[in-house]
Amino acid sequence: MNNLLNRRSARWVTAMLLLWLQHAPMGWAQPANSPDRPLDDFTTRSVLQERSTLDYPSVRENDILWENRIWRIVETREKMNLPFVYPDAPLFSILREGVLTGQLTAYSTENDHFTQPLSEDQLKTILFRKEDITVLNFNTGIEETQTVSSDINWEDVQRYRIKEAWFFDARTSTMSVRILGIAPLINEYTEDGDFKFERPLFWIHYPSAREYLSHQKAYTAGNNLAATTSWEDMFEMRNFASNIIKENNLHDLKIGEYLTGTDMLLESDKIKNDLFNREMDAWQH
């Protein structure tokens, strides 16, 4: 009987303690999602969350008189591209959160046709690094090897690959461009710290991601925190600097695979100028 009473008393004390902690006075730590958490602002922000994207104008295949596929590299260290690595909200962190929460679908980099969605296990392998470290076991005094997992640092993603389609629409007599995909790139190094190669982590199908990106704020130059420019705005307005690394060709080669050095840069500029001239010709006619 005494044991039963003691167990009941213990459960009562535990329940009362939990109830008191839920109504703890000021000065005690509150959960991150607590309604009592102070607002780090002077007003609530909802403009971006309430925004909806505009559908692209429909295009009939028979009206497409000319089309070209272009692949670009966005270098985040260029001044115009600094919003990509704004410390409070870098683009990679935004994409990563969207992928992990299921709001975005990440695709395999085996090709850039968005044919193979990545599984949850594949995403964990890509987005989290595992490394072996040696630690001292204080109980035995023996060094042991442990495997630890860590997030990929957004600062390690310094470049992005963008795939886009340029086409001339005869119905509207306009040259148009549509971004098709975005892939964050990361460098791989040897154990000695020597650079090996650059590889894409995953592909994001941009048309499917527009709705999500329209709710994600992009911090632009001008120091105006009241600006409500979203990442969808940034891409649609083409508010970024880039270099062309490939256009569709019979051998499916990147510029760097058949030219080097200055010739590679000149070829990139030539493709860019050809696109510009074709667009100007479309307006003149």
Instruction: Name the helix (H) or strand (E) containing 189.
Output: strand 174-189
From CA 77, how far away is CA 79, in angstroms rounded?
6
- Take residue 105 and report the two structure tokens written for it: 């679908």
From CA 85, how far away is CA 88, in angstroms rounded?
9
- Residue that is written with structure tokens 């001339």 in the block: 168
pLDDT value at residue 151: 81
User: For the whole prediction, is pTM greater than 0.85?
Assistant: no
Tens of pLDDT, residues 234-267: 999 999 999 999 999 999 999 999 999 999 989 9
Beta strands in 195-285 (DSSP E): 195-200, 203-205, 243-247
From CA 152, how far away is CA 93, in angstroms rounded?
10
Beta bridge partners of 175: 168
Tens of pLDDT, residues 75-91: 999 999 999 999 999 99
Q: Say how many C-beta atoms besides its own lie within 10 A of residue 213's C-beta.
A: 24
From CA 36, how far away is CA 107, in angstroms rounded?
40
Rounded percentage of the chain residues whose pLDDT exceeds 90: 57
Contact 68, 156 (CB under 8 A): no
Contact 242, 72 (CB under 8 A): yes
User: What average pLDDT does the segment 203-211 reach?
Assistant: 97
* DSSP-assigned letters across all residues of 113-174: SS--BPPHHHHHHHHEEEEEEEEEETTTTEEEEEEEEEEPPGGG--EEEEEEEEEEETTTTE
Instruction: Name the helix (H) or strand (E) containing 12.
Output: helix 2-22
Exposure of 143 in the CB half-sphere (CA atoms within 13 A): 4
Please work out, in degrees rounded to the nearest 5, the angle formed at the alpha carbon of residue 275 by the alpha carbons of 110 and 81: 65
Nearest CA to 73 out of 81, 85, 82, 64 is that of: 81
Burial class (CB in 10 A: 0-12, 13-18, 19+), 232: buried
Above 90 in pLDDT, residue 129? no
User: What average pLDDT does the segment 62-73 reach?
Assistant: 95
Q: Which residues contact 107 (CB under 8 A, 6 or more apart)?
A: 114, 115, 116, 117, 118, 181, 202, 203, 204, 205
From CA 73, how far away is CA 161, in angstroms rounded?
5
pLDDT value at residue 25: 46
Average pLDDT for the chain? 84
Q: Hey, what amino acid is at 44?
A: T
Rounded percentage of the chain residues whose pLDDT exceeds 70: 83
